[in-house]
Amino acid sequence: MTKAIYLFIISGFLFSCQGILDKEPIATLDAGSFFKTEADAVQAINAAYGPLMFNNKNNNFYWAFSTITSDEAITGGDGSRPGLVEMDAFTYTPRTEEFNTFWKVNYEGITQCNVVLANLDKAEMSVAKRNELRGEALFLRSYYYFLLSQVFGDVPLFTTLVAPENLKVAKTANSIILAQIYNDCEEAAGYLPSIRPAVQAGRATKGAALALAAKTALYQKDYNKVVEKTAQIKALNVYSLMADYRDNFKKFTQNNAESVWEIQHTNLQLGLGNFLNQWWMSKKLTGYGFAEAREELVKAFETDDPRRKFTIAMNNEDYFGVVYKNSFSSTRYSPIKYLQNPAEVTQPADGDINYTAIRFAEVLLWEAEALNELGRVAEAAIPLEVVRNRARSQAVNPATALPKISTTDIAEMRAAIRHERQVELAFEMHRFFDLVRWGIAGDLLPGFVKDKHERFPIPQTEIDLNANLLQNPGY
């Protein structure tokens, strides 16, 4: 390994207690000279959070892979992102630029985590603090690998720093990557605190690590582990559902009791805020309309389910201070989640609402799904009902809205849980990957080819650079 390492300090990711914005950006540094103090190590781990953000700097198109490829949305806009049109129609190729940028941004995050893990012991600090930072690095690396695993399947696995000449390696089997993620999250959970003070909002916690372990086990179809991990999360007594569903998607109710892990955003600098506000907002309200809600999603909501109105704008409804019209979208519908009135944000092109990567409602639905797949149908109904009851309480007629799911049949309960994920988590970047892991994407998505589109293509630029890197089947 060469002495030079790269630390990418992202000023847009704010931790006020650490004064990260008071530091000069770090370029290329000698590892031995940089990792001297606790403050140095904290600054290095801060940099590992930066690639998570949905901003113009990162070009993080995870939202596109999970949303406009699904039955939630189509792409609209002005044609300035042809790759998004290709995703909508399943005509993308290894040269579609969005895959290349996504690959790079996630490996940037992984590299930064490995830099921290390789050098923590050089910095003077307490054992407790060193372990906490180690837990953050393990969790973040796991999260980046989980995203890569969802999108590409088998990818190169690096758990140590590697010299540039040794980077040309073959892909690691997805099963091995998921096992690594699960084990790293278990280890991280042992280092991380259950609660963070407000000034550390967004930093990894024990609950976040346990949750990513649970989600990984769900993808491994290890339902006993899912039940085990969700029980551990609940036993922390940290999380609960917000009374108002909408509070999960508002600026002034962020980092709330339902948030297990939330990716922090600011829009103090143009291009560093949450660009979902630009990508998803209707063109009629200075956005691109790159995600326009499908009628299939509108119809999925049960009668009187208040979450429809909290998720999708329809004709003559309020839309950030204006009356929504069908002409605002080619589908007649637009998403609302993670959007703000452009007049209310510092930089009109950016939003400053965080992205909640894991919230407690999803944890409950993981638990329900796992219990049902284990044949414990009656138990599965309990967490499912907790989620439905919150929605029911906000309905115009709570007494008649969203009837309880009382079935004892595994298949019927499975359908109910999958439906609940669809409406509860719409536009939260889960749907396509849910359809794939359930094996039903080909039944619902026109253009989807079985045994090909379950995974997106490895970027051609990476294939060209690495003769050991094989393309995914079908591409």
Q: Residue 154, CB half-sphere, CA atoms under 13 Å: how many?
A: 11
End-to-end CA distance of the chain: 34
* 8 A C-beta contact, residue 143 and residue 212: yes
How many residues make up the chain in this entry?
475
- Kindly report the backbone phi and psi dihedral angles of residue 354, in degrees, each rounded to the nearest multiple of 5, phi listed first: -70, 160
Classify residue 310 by burial, with Cβ atoms within 10 Å: 0-12, 13-18, 19+: middle
H-run or E-run covering 386: helix 377-393
398: left (phi over 0), alpha (psi -120 to 50) or beta: alpha
CA distance 440 to 420: 16
Residue 211 is which amino acid? A
* 440 CB-near residues (< 8 Å, 6+ apart): none
In this structure, the number of other CB atoms found within 10 A of the CB of residue 168 comes to 14
CA distance 236 to 239: 8
Query: What predicted TM-score, i.e. pTM, was given to this entire model?
Result: 0.94
* 14 CB-near residues (< 8 Å, 6+ apart): 20, 21, 264, 266
CA distance 279 to 77: 8
Q: What is the pLDDT of residue 270?
A: 80
CA distance 354 to 263: 6
Classify residue 410 by burial, with Cβ atoms within 10 Å: 0-12, 13-18, 19+: middle
Q: What is the pLDDT of residue 16?
A: 33
**pLDDT, tens digit only, all 475 positions of the chain:** 333 344 443 333 333 333 322 333 344 456 667 899 999 999 999 999 999 999 877 878 999 999 999 999 999 988 889 999 999 999 999 999 999 999 999 999 999 999 999 999 999 999 999 999 999 999 999 999 999 999 999 999 999 998 888 899 999 999 999 999 999 999 999 999 999 999 999 999 999 999 999 999 999 999 999 999 999 999 999 999 999 999 999 999 999 999 999 999 988 788 888 999 999 999 999 899 999 999 999 999 999 999 999 999 999 999 999 999 999 999 999 999 999 998 888 887 789 999 999 999 999 999 999 999 999 999 999 999 999 999 999 999 999 999 999 999 999 999 999 999 999 999 999 999 999 999 999 999 999 999 999 999 999 999 999 999 999 999 9
CA distance 131 to 45: 12
Q: What is the pLDDT of residue 2?
A: 36
Strands 318-319 and 292-293: unpaired
CA distance 78 to 75: 10
* 8 A C-beta contact, residue 53 and residue 31: no
Classify residue 465 by burial, with Cβ atoms within 10 Å: 0-12, 13-18, 19+: exposed
SS3 label, residue 44: helix
Residue written as token pair 């999260």? 143
Residue 289 is which amino acid? G
Q: Print burial letters for 380-403: b (CB count within 10 Å at least 16), e (below 16).
A: bbebbbbbbebbbebbeeeeebbe
* 8 A C-beta contact, residue 86 and residue 96: yes
Nearest to residue 54, comparing CAs of 286, 338, 322, 257? Answer: 338
DSSP string, 135-202: HHHHHHHHHHHHHHHHHHSSB---SS---GGG---PPBPHHHHHHHHHHHHHHHHHHS-S---GGGTT
Q: What is the pLDDT of residue 344?
A: 87
- What does the CA dihedral 102, 106, 107, 108 come to, rounded to 10 degrees? 100
CA distance 30 to 21: 22
Residue 251 is which amino acid? K
Q: What is the pLDDT of residue 277?
A: 92
* 222 CB-near residues (< 8 Å, 6+ apart): none
Q: What is the pLDDT of residue 30?
A: 60
